[in-house]
Amino acid sequence: MEICIPFAKGISLKISDRLNEHGEYATSSLPKGFLLVSNGQELVEEAVGFGFPVLMFGRQALFPGRVELVVKQHDSVWSVTTLFVLNLVEKIHRPGIGSVENRFIYAAKNSLASIIRHISPLRGSLTALSSLLRRAFGWETTYEEAGLRATVKMIHTFHENTGNVKVEFDLTERPEGITEVIVMNEQGARFFDSYQDSSGLSLQGKKIGLWDEVTADEATFVSTCQQVAFKVGRVKGARLYRGRELVGSRLVWAGFGYSLPPSIKNFWYELIIERHS
């Protein structure tokens, strides 16, 4: 099933329960959240879309491997329920050899990713080191069965005339050991190159940062080439982060992540899609 919800001025959001396993990015094999489309062009690139859940177990992330969709429409109001089944972990793969199964390599990889996200002065050099190691050993990213699964239900309510989307999150059923819940809202980094927020902060390109906390009440990513923007706000009980990563053809995303405590069961936020001039 593919659902496409139109907004004004040539903007739409779409989502599908079919996987694109032959796409150019590793994340193509994951079920995406909502993809932003402007004048017929998808803007997602390597990103995972709007309303994409990730569960953390320490430094290990659990990703969705399947999504089920239910849609209802009444006049200009749409309601789409997405039931994500999270059952995949990220693996290092060598073509012709298979997945690397050395736990020390994964511990080092996850530690490196954490340092890159949280210690900004080291980001450039450590990202370059990561890319060098991948080229040297022929490593690629894949997603494989984790031996663990969880379900996350999200209800998206769309208003065609306003571009407003209410996202409700339900994690009533959860496996043991969750340390953090993340809800991603991101699109392609080559399109979304500008950040603005209600404090007056304005950043371009690399200055946006990789994973920095948003302290303003509202924050926006803008595509200067497509003249479209998406906006979210801070929500009580969650921490809001912004990020943008453009590393060759491997990492191409820009957007926001809500970080929630492991005890969370219900949560909601508003996403606003609009033309930007």
Tens-place pLDDT, residues 132-188: 555 555 556 677 888 888 999 999 999 878 889 999 998 887 778 899 999 999 999
For 198-249, how does the pLDDT look when each residue is reduced to its tens digit (9 = 90+)? 999 999 998 998 889 999 999 999 999 999 999 999 999 999 999 999 877 7
Point out which residues pair with 164 in neighbouring strands: 159, 272
Give the pTM.
0.85
Distance CA 207, CA 204 (A): 6
Calpha distance 187→46 (Å, rounded): 8
Q: Which of 49, 42, 33 is CA-nearest to residue 12?
A: 42
Q: Is the four-CA dihedral 64, 190, 257, 170 of positive or negative sign?
A: negative
Both tokens of 198, joined, read 């209600």
- What domains are defined for the chain? 2-275 (2.70.98)
